[in-house]
């Protein structure tokens, strides 16, 4: 009896150590450890089963030890590649990830070409002030083919016979909020024009220079391009198209020696995300352009709540962009860059749940993580009200029928 108890507590201790270590590893990594975690959890179950079937605890532990020996340990990371003499082109450097990345890569010794929408804007002026003479500012709207061509020609002129080591596709926009049915077609087209077609056009234009140097393509995407975030259909659809294009490109460029990475950041305060005036303008524009019938079915109070939820979510976004900038730098200087980088708190856990848990659990987690709507569309409120009234009338009818039946039965 004592031997059985001892075996039980030893096995429980081993399982606790394995599960605790696996969870700690999952939270500390960017999902690259997910297969190992799954294997460790599987072995935990195996050890527990072996012990419950009467196998000696030491035999179970020996099996576990043999398995752990087969798992390759973490190999020492190779030194980063040199940056001297290498050039990187970054889109969308007026603010946010692009501006901060331009500063970091310039400080690392790269020759940086930073595209901005406004050469006289605050972001461009700050880059000129804090960066070295290696930095070149280029005015470029990625939705304008002529401006892309001009930017390419200017980059070629400065590079001479050299190729381009890195292209960082950062420029993007989120021009809407709200349900898929409520999103205007202009919002869908606007997101696709910038996030997909604009990035596609830039990538195709600069790709020969990247192939020439067997360099890198790094693209800032979004988890909403792979997971159904409520109220982000237009933005998510554009990022989904971008993800598929970049992944296809990754396979096609492998023979050329070009490495392609995608970065999936969590919520950060970039661009217009924390500009409440911008969201107010979007809200008023939506109300003015919705069909009257649709506006009546959903109701202004429903859309007002959505706007307020977006603003509240924007307040919780992280201001420190370091996790994303670190992944951009790693994708450019690592001898073996990752195909996917999960940048920021909670993103790795979210993808782990999305990939390994039932869909119902993933959906519940996503809804609690993002916007938590409480207001129902006006038409649904009316339907529920009518249903309740109908049920109440039916109950009254049933009660009246019962009373009549009792009277008839009593002979009165």
Catalytic residue set: 235
d(CA 126, CA 211): 31
DSSP 326-386: HHHHHHHH-SS--SEEEESTTHHHHHHHHHHS-HHHHHHHHHHHS----PPPHHHHHHHHH
> For residue 82, what is the DSSP state?
P
Please give the C-alpha separations between residue 217 and each of 199, 203, 247, 264, 293, in angstroms, as whole numbers.
11, 8, 11, 14, 46
The token pair at 196 is: 């997909």
Helices (H) and strands (E) in the chain, counts: 16, 7
Q: Is the distance from CB of 88 to CB of 112 less than 8 angstroms? A: yes
Strand ranges (E), 143-183: 166-169
Q: Is the distance from CB of 337 to CB of 216 less than 8 angstroms? A: yes
d(CA 268, CA 323): 10
For tokens 């990830």, name the residue.
97
The token pair at 192 is: 């696709």
d(CA 409, CA 191): 72
The token pair at 405 is: 């039946």
DSSP 234-293: HHHHHHHHHHHHHHHHHHHHGGGT-EEEEEEE--B--TTTT-HHHHHHHHHHHHHHS-HH
d(CA 315, CA 109): 34
d(CA 97, CA 91): 10
Helix (H) or strand (E) holding 88: strand 87-90
């Amino acid at each position: 009896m004592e031997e059985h108890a001892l075996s039980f507590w030893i096995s429980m201790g081993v399982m606790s150590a394995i599960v605790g270590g696996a969870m700690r590893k999952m939270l500390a990594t960017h999902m690259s450890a997910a297969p190992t975690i799954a294997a460790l959890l599987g072995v935990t179950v195996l050890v527990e089963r072996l012990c419950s079937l009467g196998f000696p605890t030491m035999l179970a532990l020996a099996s576990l030890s043999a398995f752990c020996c087969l798992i390759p340990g973490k190999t020492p990371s190779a030194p980063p590649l040199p940056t001297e003499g290498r050039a990187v082109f970054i889109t969308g450097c007026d603010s946010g990830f692009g501006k901060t990345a331009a500063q970091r890569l310039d400080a690392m010794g790269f020759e940086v070409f930073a595209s901005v929408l406004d050469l006289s804007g605050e972001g461009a002026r700050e880059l000129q002030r804090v960066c070295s003479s290696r930095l070149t500012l280029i005015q470029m709207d990625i939705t304008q083919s002529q401006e892309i061509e001009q930017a390419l020609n200017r980059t070629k002129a400065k590079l001479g016979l050299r190729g381009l080591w890195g292209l960082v596709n950062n420029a993007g926009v989120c021009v809407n909020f709200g349900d898929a049915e409520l999103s205007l077609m202009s919002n869908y087209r606007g997101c696709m024009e910038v996030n997909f077609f604009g990035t596609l056009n830039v990538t195709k234009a600069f790709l020969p220079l990247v192939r020439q140097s067997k360099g890198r393509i790094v693209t800032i995407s979004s988890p909403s391009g792979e997971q159904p975030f409520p109220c982000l259909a237009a933005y998510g659809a554009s990022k989904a198209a971008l993800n598929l294009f970049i992944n296809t490109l990754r396979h096609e460029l492998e023979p050329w020696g070009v490495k392609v990475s995608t970065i999936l950041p969590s919520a950060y305060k970039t661009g217009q995300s924390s500009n409440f005036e911008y969201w107010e303008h979007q809200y008023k524009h939506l109300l003015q352009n919705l069909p009257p019938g649709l506006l009546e079915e959903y109701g202004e109070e429903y859309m007002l709540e959505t706007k307020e939820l977006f603003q509240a979510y924007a307040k919780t976004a992280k201001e420190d962009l370091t996790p994303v900038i670190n992944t951009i730098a790693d994708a450019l200087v690592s001898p073996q860059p990752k195909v996917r980088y999960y940048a920021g708190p909670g993103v790795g856990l979210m993808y782990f749940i999305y990939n390994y848990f039932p869909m119902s659990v993933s959906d519940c987690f996503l809804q609690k993580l993002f916007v938590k709507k409480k207001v129902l569309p006006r038409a649904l409120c009316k339907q529920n009200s009518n249903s309740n009234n109908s049920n109440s009338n039916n109950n009254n009818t049933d009660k009246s029928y019962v009373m009549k039946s009792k009277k008839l039965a009593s002979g009165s």
